[in-house]
């Protein structure tokens, strides 16, 4: 069966690397230690650039001459379309529109590096290029960046990113239980994704890529103080009524709604607000992530109910809108901050503080 790995004529190597295991038809580079992003780019043969070039086609046009008008063969520029060209060997990877924004291979790694604040904590497992280099993929394991309780909140999964240079699809980042070692496992990973983020190749794609890990619930280099807070919250038990009140206060959209909450005027609350609270509360009660020892019936679980609602339950117009809401100053980011402040108050002053808000 065809392996579809890119063969780099410049280096004489297949564009793929794997840590320790011989995979993908025994092609590519096998390395013994997890590389840095800079090393991984070279091991995987991804150290090439892509640029947009004007697109031309052959045509005819009328030109004036001494003998009058004549038909002449000429090159005609195709308006609003460009060829994406791999600059190290001038291979055309695809045709794209004028608004298409290239994310270079090295920039794709910024998604992983952002998780650990630019350090070398990401454990790159495999990476490579397919076809002529028009599609790339990267798989990695997360570092021990935060642990809550006994650490069960973080499952052993791979996190992967794939993108293309031919205009065929979005940049996709996701969790998968599958280590990408061949075309079949790449396809399987695309079918078994969870917590998926897709980013279109438009202006600002690189910045959104760097922030995408936050949508997936991955905070980069959480401080010791924050980790201590989360662990402390995980030991504080709260009842269903207190959890629902905290969710109501965190999601409260305006002073009028807050006034109704304080007075107990449930019938005056909007249907949209009540449904939102119920959805977040249902997530707190039924989500697998919420039924662990560190989250079930705890203050940490209440905080996760709000952040998890925006990351995993709420529907958005598209992935761009989700990024905007969660990490770029939108509603989800503000409500999550409000939930954090409420949890801090409960941790310091007890659940009765919720009655005073």
Per-residue pLDDT of the chain (357 residues; tens, 9 = 90+): 356 888 888 888 989 888 987 776 678 888 999 898 899 999 999 999 999 999 888 877 667 777 767 766 777 788 899 999 999 999 999 999 999 999 999 999 888 888 766 556 788 999 999 999 999 999 988 765 555 554 444 445 788 899 999 998 889 988 887 777 777 777 788 777 777 888 889 888 888 888 787 777 676 555 556 777 888 888 888 888 888 888 888 888 888 887 877 777 778 888 888 888 888 888 877 766 556 666 778 888 888 888 888 887 888 887 777 877 876 668 888 888 888 888 888 888 877 776 655
The crossing angle, in degrees rounded to 10, of helices 319-327 and 205-215 is: 70
- Is the distance from CB of 323 to CB of 212 less than 8 angstroms? yes
Residues 6 or more apart whose Cβ sits within 8 Å of residue 42: none
How much is the pLDDT for 137? 92
CA 268/CA 139 separation, integer angstroms: 50
How much is the pLDDT for 234? 86
How much is the pLDDT for 149? 52
How much is the pLDDT for 243? 84
CA atoms within 13 A on the CB side of 113: 16
CA 204/CA 326 separation, integer angstroms: 16
Length of the chain counted residue by residue: 357
How much is the pLDDT for 294? 67
How much is the pLDDT for 163? 93
Residue 91: strand, helix, or coil: strand
How much is the pLDDT for 242? 86
How much is the pLDDT for 170? 87
How much is the pLDDT for 165? 94
C-alpha distances (whole Å) from 45 to each of 29, 282, 325 are 9, 47, 36
Burial letters 240-260, b for 16+ CB under 10 A, else e: eebbbbbbbbbbbeeeebeeb
How many beta carbons lie within 10 A of that of residue 176, not counting itself?
Answer: 22
How are strands ordered across the β-sheet holding 171-176?
29-31, 16-19, 123-130, 135-141, 158-164, 171-176, 194-199
DSSP H helices, 46-178, are 105-108, 110-115
């Amino acid at each position: 069966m065809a392996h579809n790995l890119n063969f780099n004529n410049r280096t004489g190597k297949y564009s793929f690397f794997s840590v320790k295991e011989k995979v993908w038809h025994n092609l590519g580079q096998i390395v013994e230690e997890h590389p840095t992003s800079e090393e991984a780019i070279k091991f995987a043969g991804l150290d090439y650039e892509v640029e947009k070039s004007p697109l031309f086609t052959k045509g005819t046009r009328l030109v004036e001459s001494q003998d009058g008008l004549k038909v002449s063969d000429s090159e005609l520029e195709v308006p609003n379309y460009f060829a994406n060209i791999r600059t190290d060997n001038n291979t055309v990877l695809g045709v794209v529109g004028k608004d298409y924004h290239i994310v270079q291979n090295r920039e794709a790694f910024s998604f992983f590096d952002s998780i650990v604040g630019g350090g070398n904590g990401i454990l790159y497992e495999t990476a490579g290029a397919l076809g002529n280099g028009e599609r790339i993929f990267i798989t990695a394991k997360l570092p021990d960046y935060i642990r809550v309780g006994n650490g069960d909140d973080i499952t052993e999964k791979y996190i992967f990113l794939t993108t293309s240079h031919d205009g065929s699809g979005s940049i996709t980042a996701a969790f998968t239980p599958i280590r990408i070692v061949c075309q079949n496992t790449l396809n399987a990973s695309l079918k078994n994704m969870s917590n998926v983020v897709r980013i279109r190749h438009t202006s600002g794609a690189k910045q959104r890529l760097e922030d995408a890990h936050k949508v997936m619930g991955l905070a980069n280099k959480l401080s010791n103080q924050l980790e201590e807070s989360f662990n402390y919250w995980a030991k504080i038990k709260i009842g269903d009524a207190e959890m629902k009140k905290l969710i109501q206060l965190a999601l409260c959209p305006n002073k009028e709604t807050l006034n109704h909450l304080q007075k107990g005027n449930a019938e005056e609350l909007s249907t949209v607000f009540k449904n939102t609270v119920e959805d977040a509360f249902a997530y707190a009660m039924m989500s697998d992530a919420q039924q662990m020892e560190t989250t079930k019936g705890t203050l940490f679980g209440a905080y996760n109910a709000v952040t998890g609602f925006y990351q995993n339950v709420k529907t958005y117009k598209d992935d761009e809108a989700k990024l905007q809401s969660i990490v770029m100053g939108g509603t989800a980011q503000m409500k999550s901050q409000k939930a954090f402040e409420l949890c801090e108050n409960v941790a310091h002053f007890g659940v009765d503080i919720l009655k005073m808000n």
